[in-house]
Structure 1
Amino acid sequence: MERLAILLFCSSYVLSVQCKVTLQADRPSIQVEVSHRADLECCFTPNGKKENFVWVKTSQHANKTLETHIVQDAELKEQFVKGIQCGVLTFKQAKREDTGFYRCFLNISKVVTHGTYLQVYEPLEKTINLSESVKNGILTAEGILLLLCVMLPSASLLFKSKNLNDLEKKKVNREEENIYQGLNLDDCCVGYEYDQIERPQGGYEDVGNNEEDFQLEKP
């Protein structure tokens, strides 16, 4: 019962607040460079009566603790456009210390607007101020170096492969020479030559013309 009572009380409070004032959408965040102008705006629709409000800032310290205080060191303005009341917070020369979360607190309605986070940053300074011609020369040199890094290993591999092919050819030629040197042509041709074949001592005789009975010599 206690929780239900609290819930009903909160709901009735929210409804009563919404009847008094209607909040408009705020910019979630703004980024500006140091020493530049920064304009923050909170807008709402009051319920027929002008609202008094103050700007409050929530920032985080180095020890990660949050601190909320009323903004007083900036230019404050109020605007009315078609029944919408707006508060404008202006930093003519923003500083890094101005970084934080800014909201408007309405004194009569006791409502805080959605808020805007302001980030003030310092631009990166050029360590080396180079002209365009020098930059183009550096890019050209980088391209040449990149090309050499690609071509030199390829040329080295081709040269090594050529040397290996030459060594293989020399090895094959030496093996063939060794084979021919191991052969003795004189030993291969040992045998009877055609002119050295001796004829049999006895000749062949005609059997028909010889009437004597003797045995022919076989060749």
Structure 2
Amino acid sequence: MVAVTFLFLCFWAAGVHGDLSRIQVTLEPDRPSLRVQLSHTAHLRCCYSATRGAVETTWYISIQTVNGTSALQGVDRRDNRVTVDEGNLTAAGVMCHTLILKEARLNDSGLYQCFLNHSALRHSVYTHGTFLQVYRPMVKILDIGESTKNSILTAEGMLLMVAVLLHGTMMLYEETQSNEEEKGQKGRGEYL
């Protein structure tokens, strides 16, 4: 019985010690989405807290393919437009990594996530991610001011009112004329 208890305590101590050597990662909320105008700079962040320091971080982008599936690929750090900081520790003990994407292009749109990895980490982890949408701004066909628009609407309203009044007046005049003609025909018919 003593041997069984001794073996149980040894295995329990080994299990506790094994868990103590592991890193525990807690993910912080990511910004769900970010809209950036074409040719502007995008700043994407992923934050986490770890029980024993920083972990290795790699940025990935999930791109939507033609058939509706997504393809995961690493962000090319050799691209001159891409800058990745190695992480900043905040006062609350949270580690944040920033991906800076200069001169954003339309094909840069996608879900950006950090991949967290360390040999003492039980399972590698992807952060929640931020969906980056790069958009082309609308071009105004007529660049007119608000007061000009109001003047145009007022003029349209006045023209519509004049058209309705003219049409109504013309219909009343025609009705009056036809009534007078009917009275004239009835009156002539009585004298005949």
Question: So what's the TM-score if we normalise by structure 1?
Answer: 0.64
For the residues of structure 1 that align with 2:101 and 2:38, how far apart are their CA atoms?
11
Mapped to 2, the partners of 1:151 and 1:54 lie a distance apart of 72
Amino acid at match of 1:34: L
Higher relative contact order (CA 8 A, sep 6+): 2
Corresponding residue SS for 2:140: coil
Q: Secondary structure at the match of 2:47?
A: strand
- How far the C-alpha of 1:137 sits from its partner, in A, is 5.3
| 1:161-200 pair list within 5 angstroms | 161-178=175-192
Distance 1:130 1:50 in 2: 54
Tell me how far 1:141 sits from its aligned partner.
3.8
Match of 1:76 in 2: 84
Rounded to whole Å, the distance in 1 between the matches of 2:26 and 2:61 is 21
Whose Rg is larger? 1
Q: Within 5 A, what are the aligned runs for 1:49-198?
A: 49-71=53-75, 72=77, 73=79, 74-77=82-85, 78-81=87-90, 82-108=92-118, 109=121, 110-130=124-144, 135=149, 138-178=152-192
Which runs of 5 or more residues in structure 2 are unaligned?
A: 1-18
Matched, 1:20 2:24: yes
Q: Give me the whole-angstrom Cα distance separating, in 2, the residues matched to 1:133 and 1:20.
A: 61
4+ runs deviating over 3 angstroms: 61-65, 128-141
Letter of the structure 2 residue corresponding to residue 85 of structure 1: M
**3-state SS of 2:170 partner:** helix
Superposed CA deviations along residues 107-138 of structure 1, whole A, max 9, x for unmatched, are: 12400011110000011112344466764554
Q: Corresponding residue for 2:41?
A: 37
Give, as a single letter, the amino acid of the residue that structure 1 aligns with 2:70. Answer: L
Over aligned residues, Cα RMSD in angstroms? 2.4
CA displacement at 1:80 relative to structure 2: 1.2
Identity %: 39
Give the alignment's TM-score, normalised by structure 2: 0.73
- What is the Cα deviation at residue 164 of structure 1? 2.4
